[in-house]
Structure 1
Amino acid sequence: MCVGALVWNAEGRVLLARTTKWGGLWGVPGGKVDWGETLVDAVAREFREETGLRLRDICHAQTQEAVLSPEFHKPSHMLLFDYFARTDDTRLSPNEEIEDWAWVTLAEAAAYPLNTYTQTLVALAQRREP
């Protein structure tokens, strides 16, 4: 099981990241759930580990299944639990997995070369946006 979050800052921009695991495509920070850890705790921990940012207002957005995705760096079968969240900070302390990042509007996010799973998350956010 894996978790990830599309996160808004106070200016209404979302964080996208290009990592070492998605073949140059952009996505959202996240990672594996530890044994005995809740999904919400996992997304908060993974986000903090990868970006240094603390999340608030975490809510489930969608669940996806990635079966042998050619976009992912190795063969895998993943359940992806996606969340929406907010952060009060925009200053990242990225770990070694993050190659680049950007705070963008949802419209700008949709124009990025996103992995398939982040495309659906951004599209869902656009449909929910007031």
Structure 2
Amino acid sequence: MDRTNWLHLYQFRAEAGWENMFLPNGAGSVEWHLGWNVELPRGYFLMVAPLETGPEGLEVPTGVISSTVCGRMTQGQGFGIAVRPTRPVTIARGQHIARLILLHADSLRATSTTQDTATVGESDG
């Protein structure tokens, strides 16, 4: 992002005082603290995904958040998601910006079979 002055324009009052709503997050994105919390049971994850028809000018990178990280967010500034503004954009209160999908840990487990490329095609003789 070329100009980040706008990051300091939006603040909210928390128990510890005033805090920034947007924090630099890297890769051109910011973490947007939404003002509410998510409590996940142990062994679950939350996938944040963009909407098919989300606000123009606001990209939401897909990400997966563990119950441990959600718990830390609850103790801190509240739940936040990564967003990447690509141009000036106006978001209205209550407007949908992303999809939250609850995932059980079993749905994230995967197995794979690999083959050593050095031995593929070699004969035993």
Q: More relative contact order in 1 or in 2 (CA 8 Å, sep 6+)?
A: 1
Structure-2-length-normalised TM-score: 0.28
Q: Quick check: which one's helix share is greater?
A: 1
Structure-1-length-normalised TM-score: 0.28
